[in-house]
Amino acid sequence: MAESSTFIPYPGVQFEEEEMIRRSRDYYEFMNKRRSVRTFSDRPVPKEVIENILRTAGTAPSGAHKEPWTFCVVQDGELRKEVRRLAEEEEYRNYNGRMSDRWLKDLEPFGTDYIKPFIEVAAALIVVFKHSYTSDEAGKRANNYYVNESVGIAVGMMLAAVHNAGLVALTHTPSPMNFLEKALDRPPNEKAYLNIPIGYPAEGAEVPELTRKGPDKLIKWY
Ligand code: IYR
C-alpha cells in the first residue's frame, strides 16, 4: 500500500467448501513431505526459479508493510569459499565449548558438526538479512516493526516455495552470524538472520527419521 490510504477490492481466491477441504488436505500432505536436507548436489537451478522462490518470500506480511528484508543469492565460488571458512570458524568454537553438553546431546540425532560443505556445494546460498531500521531517501532513520516475526514468516514462505519447486533447503544458523554482514558488504541497518543453502539434494541423500506432533498435541481448540 502506498503512503496514502487508498483501498482496492480484495482480488483474492475463493473455493467451494468441498474443494477447500480437498485443497487444504492435499497441501498439508504435500508440505508434510518437506524435510531439511544437509547434503546437496551441485546441479545448478535456473535463475528464474530462485527469483520466483524469493518473490514468493517477498509476498509475506510485515509490520506496517515495511518489508524489512533482503535476500542475498550467493553463487560466486570464491565468496562461498570465504563464507564457508568464516562459518566453520564460528561453528568450530560452537561445537568445541560454546554449546552446552545438553545442547550437543540434543543435536546428536541430526549428526551435525562444524564442517559445512553445503555452503559451497548447493546450487545457491540464500543469506537472509533483516532490516532493524530503514534509511529513507533523505538518509533519515525510519522505524520497522515486528522485524523478527516478519522475516521469520517470509523465510517460512520461502521454504514452502523451495519445496513446491521440488528443491530442498537447510536453515543454517552459524552463530554469531555478523561475519555475513561484512562478507557481503551489507549496509549497517541489515543484520544477518539465516543462511539457507537451496538446491537439489545429493544423490541418495538421507534425513533423520522423525515424527511430527499430531493435531491433538499441536492444536488446542477453545
Ligand atoms: N548452528 C549449528 C548448531 C545447530 C543448532 C541447532 I538448535 C540445530 O537444529 C542444528 C545445528 C549448526 O548449524 O551446525
The tally of domains found in the chain comes to 1
Residues in Cβ contact with 90 at an 8 Å cutoff, skipping those fewer than 6 apart: 174, 175, 176, 177, 179
Nearest CA to ligand 1 atom 7: 107
Task: Let me know if residue 15 belongs to a domain.
Answer: no
Range of the domain at 146: 38-203
Sign of the torsion angle spanned by Cα atoms 193, 82, 116, 46: positive
Task: Let me know if residue 57 belongs to a domain.
Answer: yes
66 within 8 A of 131, measured Cβ to Cβ = yes
Task: Let me know if residue 33 belongs to a domain.
Answer: no
What is d(CA 152, CA 101) in angstroms, rounded to the nearest whole number?
28
pLDDT value at position 130?
98
- Could you tell me the three cell numbers for 207? 534425513
pLDDT value at position 3?
61
pLDDT value at position 141?
92
Ligand 1 contact via 91 beta carbon (within 6 Å)? yes
Choose which residue among 99, 173, 210 to substitute to test ligand 1 binding: the one with the highest number of ligand atoms within 8 A of its C-beta.
173
Task: Let me know if residue 28 belongs to a domain.
Answer: no
What is d(CA 77, CA 96) in angstroms, rounded to the nearest whole number?
28
Mind listing the pLDDT tens digit for each residue in 79-137? 999 999 999 999 999 999 999 999 999 999 999 999 999 999 999 999 999 999 998 77
Choose which residue among 112, 116, 177 to substitute to test ligand 1 binding: the one with the highest number of ligand atoms within 8 A of its C-beta.
112
Ligand 1 contact via 175 beta carbon (within 6 Å)? yes
pLDDT value at position 137?
78
pLDDT value at position 68?
98
Ligand 1 contact via 88 beta carbon (within 6 Å)? no
For residue 103, the ligand 1 atom closest to its alpha carbon is: 7
Query: Residues of the chain whose pLDDT is less than 50?
Result: none
Task: Let me know if residue 115 belongs to a domain.
Answer: yes
pLDDT value at position 139?
79
Ligand 1 contact via 186 beta carbon (within 6 Å)? no
DSSP reduced 3-state for 108 = helix
pLDDT value at position 30?
98
For residue 112, the ligand 1 atom closest to its alpha carbon is: 14
Nearest CA to ligand 1 atom 11: 112
- Could you tell me the three cell numbers for 195? 543462511
CATH number at residue 88: 3.40.109.10
pLDDT value at position 2?
54
Ligand 1 contact via 24 beta carbon (within 6 Å)? no
What is the CA 17 to chain-centroid distance, rounded?
Answer: 32
Task: Let me know if residue 131 belongs to a domain.
Answer: yes
Task: Let me know if residue 222 belongs to a domain.
Answer: no
Q: Which residues of 106-138 are buried (b: 16+ CB within 10 A; e: fewer)?
A: eeeeeeeeeebebbbbbbbbbbbbbbeebeeee
Task: Let me know if residue 23 belongs to a domain.
Answer: no
| pTM: predicted TM-score of the whole model, two decimal places | 0.95
